[in-house]
Chains A and B, each alone.
Chain A
Amino acid sequence: MLAILLKDYLIELRTKETLAALLTLGVLTLLVLSFAFDPTSELRPLAAPGTLWAAVVFSGVLAVNRSFLAERDNACLQGLLLCPIDRGTIYLAKAAANFLFMLAAQVVLLPLFMVFFNLTPSGALFRVCLVLVLGILGFAAAGTLFAAMSVRTRAREVMLPLLLLPIVMPVLIGGVVASGAVLAGKGLGEVQQWMQLLVVYDVVLLVVGWLAFEYAVEE
């Protein structure tokens, strides 16, 4: 599993394509949504968590799609499948790679987000990071499974969001609410049920993905 992870990391290091896609779409989404809401309105902070998560979702779809596009184009997936390793392990490795890439993009996106919405770094920042980690984990888990499927269908760019977004709704809702509460100064204890929802759903998605992945990549 580590070998696959390392492979993805090395490819990324050389091409930087996934990170570029993540950052581009993430920044663009942040920008567009910043313009969408009146900057002078005092209600603007309410739009903040939604904007952050919209950026995560849109850039994430692209990233997760890319993770299988390369495999498909060079028949790498067949090569991977021929290896005598459990298909579930391949899934975990790809999901981990996607998770790490999306998290890495946040290193740039989160500060930008703070700037656009006039937020000061504080304890809240750490809590938002925690929520982001949980949410991105769920997104990567579901996204990896569905990207493996959608990359082989027609209109693959359209297929992935169509499959993914209904499934990822609870993560989005949980992420937005928890981030919003935390940015408003609440402690983690108060968003406990949302954190629990995220953790439980992450586990569910990972387990289902791990089990179902072999059906998704069968020829």
Chain B
Amino acid sequence: MSDDESIRSTGFRHIANDVLPMVVLAAMIAALWAVFLYVPSEADQGVVQRIFYFHLPPAIGTFVMIFLVAIASAVYLWRGGVFWDRLAQASAEVGLLFCSIVLTVGPIWAKPIWGTWWTWDARLTTTLILWMIYVAYLVVRAWAPSREQGARYAAILGIVGAIDVPIVQRSVYWWRTIHPAVLVTREGGHGLQDPRMQFTLILCFIAFFLLGAWLLWVRLESGRVHDEAEALRMRLADAR
């Protein structure tokens, strides 16, 4: 419990629980407005390109999340402290959500633009592997013989997984440059000349960052409440 006292000050929790969701909602509405009404369509790709604004921020987000998982896992293994375990789990769940968004939105964009749902280029393949790592992380937690062992196994996987991600990216990149793809991978984020497009992208980044932060908070809180309930249940059982 002592880990949580640092965040127990009423001010912070009030902001996190009550104000933040409103801010997230406002940011998302603003982002939707920008994407659908404000920003002009791109010259080459037309209307479909607008998906990109909701594709890139979660993509960055999911890669940030796996490193957060790794850091929290490392601290958990090294120093203990259930907060770090909760943080790792919350990050993994948010990361999985973002990764799923990326893998769903991406092909929707790719089909009209590239003519294919999927290519095996470095970024797509790495994102797919990352998705598998997230799923494995959550499954090993659920199927471990006990909560503590699940946390430990998941922590190991989190660390190894995060190390794996850049290596997979590198190796797939090398792999694909041997067989030059018919389709040239589009560099996301570059080539946005129009300041309105840049503004929209930044707005979407902010919206997804806030969304991620809020979901992380909600999951952390739910984990804490769950643990407290478990502790109470154990004490009740002992008291009988």
State which residues 6-54 of B face A: CB under 8 Å: none
State whether B172 touches A173 (Cβ < 8 A).
Answer: yes
Q: Note all chain B residues with C-beta closer than 8 A to A174.
A: 171
State whether A170 touches B163 (Cβ < 8 A).
Answer: no
The residue of chain A having its C-beta at the shortest distance from the C-beta of B141 within the complex is: A153
State whether B143 touches A155 (Cβ < 8 A).
Answer: yes
Assuming A152-B145, A153-B144, A153-B145, is B136 touching A212 (CB within 8 A)? no
State whether A167 touches B161 (Cβ < 8 A).
Answer: yes
Q: Note all chain A residues with C-beta closer than 8 A to B156.
A: 145, 149, 212, 215-216
State whether A153 touches B140 (Cβ < 8 A).
Answer: yes
State whether A154 touches B136 (Cβ < 8 A).
Answer: no
Assuming A167-B160, A215-B155, is B136 touching A162 (CB within 8 A)? yes
B64 sits at the interface (CB 8 A)? no
State which residues 171-219 of A face B: CB under 8 Å: 173-174, 177, 193-194, 197, 201, 204, 208, 212, 215-216, 218-219
B77 sits at the interface (CB 8 A)? yes
State whether A208 touches B77 (Cβ < 8 A).
Answer: no
State whether B139 touches A170 (Cβ < 8 A).
Answer: no
Q: How far is the CA of A177 from the CA of B171 in the complex (A)?
A: 10
For the residues of B in contact with A, the DSSP-based class is: helix
Assuming A152-B149, A166-B133, A166-B164, is B143 touching A212 (CB within 8 A)? no
Say how far B123's CB is from chain A's closest CB, in angstroms. 14
State whether A163 touches B157 (Cβ < 8 A).
Answer: yes
Q: Note all chain B residues with C-beta closer than 8 A to A154.
A: 143, 145
For the residues of A in contact with B, the DSSP-based class is: helix
State which residues 150-200 of B face A: CB under 8 Å: 152-153, 155-157, 159-161, 163-164, 167-168, 170-172, 174-175, 178
B129 sits at the interface (CB 8 A)? yes
Please, what's the 1-or-0 string for B97-136, where 1 marks a CB less than 8 Å from any CB in chain A? 0000000000000000000000000000000011011011
Assuming A159-B139, A167-B160, is B153 touching A149 (CB within 8 A)? yes
Q: Note all chain A residues with C-beta closer than 8 A to B135.
A: 162
A169 sits at the interface (CB 8 A)? yes
Say how far B172's CB is from chain A's closest CB, in angstroms. 6
Q: Note all chain A residues with C-beta closer than 8 A to B167.
A: 170, 197, 201, 204
Q: Note all chain B residues with C-beta closer than 8 A to A193.
A: 174
The residue of chain A having its C-beta at the shortest distance from the C-beta of B157 within the complex is: A163
Q: Note all chain B residues with C-beta closer than 8 A to A169.
A: 129, 164, 168, 171
The residue of chain A having its C-beta at the shortest distance from the C-beta of B152 within the complex is: A215
Q: Note all chain A residues with C-beta closer than 8 A to B143.
A: 153-155, 159
State whether A194 touches B174 (Cβ < 8 A).
Answer: yes
State whether A166 touches B136 (Cβ < 8 A).
Answer: yes
A47 sits at the interface (CB 8 A)? no
Q: Note all chain B residues with C-beta closer than 8 A to A163.
A: 136, 140, 157
Q: Note all chain B residues with C-beta closer than 8 A to A142.
A: 160
A165 sits at the interface (CB 8 A)? yes
State whether A167 touches B164 (Cβ < 8 A).
Answer: yes
Q: A167-B133, A193-B174, A212-B159 are in contact. List 11 more A-B contacts (CB 8 A).
A: A142-B160, A149-B140, A159-B139, A162-B135, A163-B140, A166-B136, A169-B168, A204-B163, A208-B163, A215-B152, A219-B149
Interface pairs A-B: 9 shortest CB-CB? A153-B143, A170-B171, A166-B132, A154-B143, A149-B153, A162-B136, A173-B171, A166-B133, A212-B156
8 chain-A/chain-B pairs, Cβ below 8 angstroms: A150-B140, A163-B136, A166-B132, A166-B136, A167-B133, A167-B164, A212-B156, A212-B160
